[in-house]
Structures are given as structure tokens and as C-alpha cells.
């Protein structure tokens, strides 16, 4: 079943229509399943995921980029209504774990996507981390100094700060709690983990990037023989 993968069947959302009592006077309906988000439909989320994917490429060589999966709304939209579907950060095969990255209350007039770029990046980073850790069964990303997992939060946030408290306006960073012998610290801005890699790994990353750019270059004129 695409999408709702996790630690067990308890993580799989229940199909609303499959639990509804059959009405003999109406045809049984089946909602459309989740699918890859239409390019350009969620531009702010796409931009944030591109930033997070830079960290994924830098720290997990060989891992393909994450994608956005869209789960259509259960009920058809009324004319002029707002798309109430949910968007998730998923593996390339469409599986994901965790919450949607576009939580909104359309009844209160919230936009389909969060307005603040820093908030969007933090939400997408957290969702990517949840999907990677749950589906690949590995801690990500890891602090290169302390070899423990990091968490996305605002740069320079107070100890114990959690997103939504509004007491830190810095851009999102990957933050390490440190150890009993060291304090917590900001490891890197989200999207810039490549700068924390040892020299050998940074050089390998640049080689991979150059090779990838070469493959993506449009074909030019062939040289004459």
C-alpha cells in the first residue's frame, strides 16, 4: 500500500469509505489514492525539499532524493473551495512516515502552504528526517563531532525551545544536544551539511555533483570527426 508506511499497521490511516455503511440507494465510492505531487502545485514546499535534499545527497551517498506525495481530500471540493489534500515528504517509491507538511485549517482561512519560509523549511526538514529514520532504519542526520542524531530547530534557540513558541527567529539549523561533557550546539544550517563533511568526503561529493551536472547538460553539437 503506497504511502502510509511506518512501524506497523497502526500507522496506516483508515480509508473512510471502506468503513462507511453501504447505502443501497447510492453507488459505493472509492477516493483516489495518493500520488506524486504535481510539479509546481506546491512551490514553497518544493523549494524547501530541494534544500533538504542537498543535505541528504551530501550525507547519504547513493540515496535518491525525497519527493512530495499528495493525498487527495476525502470529499470533493465545492466550487471555489480550497484544496484540502495533504502533502507528505516521501521516499522515491512513494512511502512516507509522519505528519503532513501543509497542515492548515481552511475554515479559519489558513493558506494551503505556510507563509513563512523558515517555518516551511523546518517543517519539511522534520518530515524528511521522520521518513528517512523510520523507513531506512537509521539515524539521520548525524552530528560529525558527537556522532549522535540532530534535530531541526531555529538557530540560536533557547534550551528546550520547540517550534511554535515564537521566541527564536533564526533560520532552521540541525542542532545537536551534545553529551554530558559538552553543550548542545548548532551543527549547520539546514541545506548546508556538506560544509561539515571531512575533506575527503567533500571532494567525493563535488565529484558526484560534477558528474551529475554533466549527465544533465543538454546535448550540444557533436564534434566533427
At residue 114, the pLDDT reads: 67
Local confidence band at 93 (pLDDT 50, 70, 90 cut-offs)? very high
Lowest mean pLDDT among 71-80, 115-124, 181-190: 71-80
Predicted confidence band of residue 179 (pLDDT cuts 50, 70, 90): confident
**Concatenated DSSP letters of 125-193:** HHHHHHHHHHHH-S--SB-TTT-SBEEEEETTPPTT--TTS-S--SPEEEEE---TTS--EEEEETT-G
What residues have CB less than 8 Å from 100, skipping those under 6 apart? 71, 86, 87, 88
The model's confidence at residue 219, banded by pLDDT at 50, 70 and 90, is: very low
Q: Whole-angstrom Cα distance, residue 154 to residue 55?
A: 17
Question: Residue range 103-123: average pLDDT?
Answer: 74
**Alpha-carbon span 78 to 170, nearest angstrom:** 39
Whether residue 159 has pLDDT greater than 50: yes
pLDDT at 24 over 60: no
Cis omega (within 30 of 0) for bond into 224: no
Q: Where are the alpha helices (DSSP H) in 6-163?
A: 43-59, 117-136
Does the pLDDT at position 203 exceed 80?
no
CA 221 to chain centre: 39
For residues 95 and 88, give the distance between their C-alpha atoms in angstroms, rounded to a whole number: 9
Residue 174: alpha-carbon gap to chain centroid: 14
Residues in the chain: 225
Over the stretch 42-86, which tens digit does the pLDDT of each residue have?
999 999 999 999 999 999 988 999 999 998 876 555 454 455 678
pTM of the model: 0.71
Range with the poorest average pLDDT among 93-102, 103-112, 156-165, 193-202? 156-165
pLDDT at 170: 76
Amino acid at each position: 500500500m503506497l504511502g502510509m508506511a511506518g512501524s506497523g499497521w497502526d500507522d496506516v490511516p483508515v480509508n473512510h469509505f471502506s468503513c462507511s455503511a453501504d447505502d443501497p440507494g447510492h453507488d459505493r465510492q472509492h477516493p483516489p489514492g495518493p500520488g506524486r505531487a504535481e510539479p509546481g502545485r506546491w512551490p514553497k514546499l518544493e523549494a524547501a525539499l530541494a534544500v533538504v535534499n542537498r543535505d541528504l545527497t551530501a550525507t547519504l551517498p547513493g540515496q535518491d532524493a525525497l519527493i512530495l506525495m499528495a493525498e487527495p481530500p476525502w470529499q470533493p471540493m465545492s466550487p471555489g473551495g480550497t484544496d484540502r489534500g495533504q502533502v507528505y515528504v516521501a521516499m522515491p517509491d512513494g512511502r512516507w512516515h509522519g505528519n503532513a507538511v501543509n497542515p492548515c485549517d481552511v475554515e479559519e482561512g489558513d493558506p494551503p502552504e505556510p507563509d513563512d519560509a523558515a517555518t516551511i523549511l523546518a517543517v519539511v526538514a522534520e518530515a524528511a528526517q521522520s521518513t528517512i529514520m523510520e523507513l531506512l532504519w537509521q539515524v539521520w542526520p548525524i552530528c560529525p563531532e558527537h556522532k549522535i542524531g540532530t534535530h531541526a530547530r531555529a538557530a540560536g534557540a533557547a534550551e528546550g525551545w520547540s517550534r511554535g513558541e515564537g521566541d527564536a527567529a533564526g533560520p532552521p539549523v540541525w542542532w545537536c544536544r551534545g553529551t554530558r561533557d559538552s553543550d548542545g550546539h548548532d551543527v549547520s544550517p539546514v541545506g548546508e551539511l556538506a560544509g561539515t563533511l571531512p575533506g575527503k568526503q567533500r571532494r567525493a561529493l563535488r565529484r558526484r555533483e560534477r558528474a551529475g551536472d554533466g549527465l544533465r547538460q543538454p546535448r550540444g553539437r557533436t564534434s566533427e570527426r
